[in-house]
Chains A and B, each alone.
Chain A
Amino acid sequence: MIWLWNIFCAPFAEFMFMRHALAAVFALALGCGPVGTFLVLRRMSLMGDALSHAVLPGVAAGFLLYGFSLSAMTFGGFLAGLGVVAASGLVSRLTPLKEDASMAALYLISLALGVLLVSLRGNSMDLMHVLFGSILAVDAPSLLLVAGVSTLTLLALAVLYRPLVVECFDSGFLRAVGGGGSLAHMLFMALVALNLVGGFRALGTLMAVGLLILPATAARFWAAQVWSQALTATGIALLSGYFGLLASYYWNLPSGPAIVLTAGCCHIISLVFGPRQGIAAQRFLGKKPA
């Protein structure tokens, strides 16, 4: 039994930075599970991806002005994310360009701008930290930030839950009964930006979106209701965070990609073995449950 402890618990018992990283990634998972579920249900997975890039110039501007200051980078990232959401909404309303296309255009601009800004002052190591995160960067203030983000996210989702579900499912109906769907949409996008910013310290700006999307796409193969999908996604995100950190510890891998790859494995396993229209379920059981 002692070897089990040695493999699965000792790294966290021994090292403070591992405990910090684990707490951070668990807090992230709690927020990312439900937010990612809604993102996928709204068919906005790629928008989330675009947004994660859009956060970068804000983070970089904070870095350029104040160095590795958590609050400056976080605030800058959040503002940049909100700016891109608002701008892409505006562009799609004023021009024939669809929202996803304008989002894609904006994220390419932001990514280039962000990389440029970081390399103006930092070296390539700093850039790697911002893009892919690092366990060592998770200190007490970062932990508080991530915990705050996930608390705020869960509280906000509790209030927004019903309008969000209806807005995803039948936005025309919600508008007809005056349910305030576009307000819910804007607040939700702000939550997405917030979670991406919360994740950049542990996972990096490029990887943070992985913990949003992959658990949610995996959960779709296990659960049949919005709330149960969100719960499953949270569980998968928690598992991915834990095993990803272990993998990154033992094999000396960057934590962000390790966690996201673990989530990716969960996604592929779900794709094949998930009871709700997974490949194996469809092929061998021959049923297509609702």
Chain B
Amino acid sequence: MIAAPRPVSLHGLTLGYGRRTVLRGLCCRFEPGTLTAVVGPNGAGKSTLLRAMAGLLRPREGSVNLNGMDARQVAYLPQQADIDRSFPISVLDMVALGHWPQVGALGGMTAAQWEDARAALAAVGMRAFAARGIGALSAGQFQRVQFARLLLQNAPVILLDEPFTALDAATTEDLLRLVRAWHDEGRTVLAVIHDLDQVRSAFPLCLSFMEQQPVMGPTACVLPARTFHMPTQDHGTAPTESTQANSALAAAPVDALPSDTLREGASA
């Protein structure tokens, strides 16, 4: 069972590193159980936003309000560059780290917790790799293992930073299925995604940093299919009407979007 999901709200969030401000005065609210894609060009502040929401970056101004949730109830998957892939640790041990909030630095793992870790590995199709070192894994396999660890963390809020970049179609499809399952279980999921077709087909909501002002709303409105065929032509070609319509930055309820419309929009 997951803890009762609560909304996550950002109040006038300003983020930056050193002198550089990456994000200025962002206000928005992620309702419990929503599945949101975060899109935008490199350097727009998508990863920075996720780091701040995970509690890894202190906001310059404003705040991330978890509405009573513990920071540890937010699971965060960073981009791959952050992890030492040559480290001498077995796949099972790495997945078992997902139990850290319960076990901590000194506690022992119970047999049931080890079984959970194996089950999580099985869920991503990596059970046979439990005893191997992580150095032997391909990029796709490693990402599966990371997802297994996320499964074990069992968090009500999950933040994914470019989870499918550089993965083959089969791996992406498997992992996307997990993301959908999280969505069905009522978890709040945010993912930074570069593949806009993927966003249109799998993510009901979208937070876009494509324009001057960040825009959030139903994907079909934020990313009209026709204007976003060529990522290089994104700027300035979005219809101003829909941008304005969604610039209230309020997340619409997910159920208001029949998936059929989304697919039609994507193929049009």
Q: Residues of A contacting B72 with CB < 8 Å?
A: 176-178
Instruction: Please choose the segment from B86-94, B120-128, B238-246 that sits at the chain A interface, where 4 or more of its residues have CB less than 8 A away.
Output: B86-94
| Nearest CB in chain A to that of B100: its residue | A177
Instruction: Please choose the segment from A63-71, A143-151, A160-168, A193-201 that sits at the chain B interface, where 4 or more of its residues have CB less than 8 A away.
Output: A160-168
Contacts A41-B88, A169-B89, A170-B82 known; A176 to B54 CB distance under 8 Å?
yes
Instruction: Please choose the segment from A46-54, A81-89, A223-231, A253-261 that sits at the chain B interface, where 4 or more of its residues have CB less than 8 A away.
Output: A223-231
| Nearest CB in chain A to that of B159: its residue | A176
* Structural contact, A170 and B100, CB atoms closer than 8 A: no
Contact-residue size bin, chain A (C-beta under 8 Å from the other chain)? 20 to 34
- A1 on interface, CB distance cutoff 8 Å: no
**In angstroms, how far is the closest chain B Cβ from the Cβ of A38?**
12
* Structural contact, A163 and B90, CB atoms closer than 8 A: no
* Structural contact, B97 and A290, CB atoms closer than 8 A: no
A185→B101 CA distance, assembly (Å): 19
Contacts A162-B105, A176-B56, A177-B72 known; A290 to B78 CB distance under 8 Å?
no
* Structural contact, A169 and B54, CB atoms closer than 8 A: no
- Within 8 Å by CB of A225, from B71, B83, B90, B104, lies B90
* Structural contact, B76 and A223, CB atoms closer than 8 A: no
- A120 on interface, CB distance cutoff 8 Å: no
A163→B89 CA distance, assembly (Å): 14
Q: Residues of A contacting B88 with CB < 8 Å?
A: 41, 220, 223-226, 229
Central interface residue in A163, A172, A175, A179, by most chain B CB within 10 Å? A172
Interface size in chain B (residues, C-beta < 8 A)? 28
**In angstroms, how far is the closest chain B Cβ from the Cβ of A13?**
40
- B140 on interface, CB distance cutoff 8 Å: no
**In angstroms, how far is the closest chain A Cβ from the Cβ of B198?**
25
Contacts A178-B72, A180-B105, A290-B132 known; A170 to B55 CB distance under 8 Å?
no
A179→B94 CA distance, assembly (Å): 15
| Nearest CB in chain A to that of B101: its residue | A177
A36→B136 CA distance, assembly (Å): 24
Q: Residues of A contacting B101 with CB < 8 Å?
A: 177-178
* Structural contact, B97 and A175, CB atoms closer than 8 A: no
**Could you list 17 A-B pairs, sorted by A, with CB under 8 Å?**
A41-B87, A168-B87, A169-B84, A169-B89, A170-B84, A171-B82, A172-B78, A172-B82, A174-B100, A176-B55, A177-B101, A178-B71, A178-B72, A179-B104, A220-B88, A224-B133, A226-B89
Q: Which residues of B contact A (CB under 8 A)?
A: 54-56, 71-72, 74-76, 78, 82-84, 87-90, 94, 97, 100-101, 104-106, 132-133, 135-136, 153
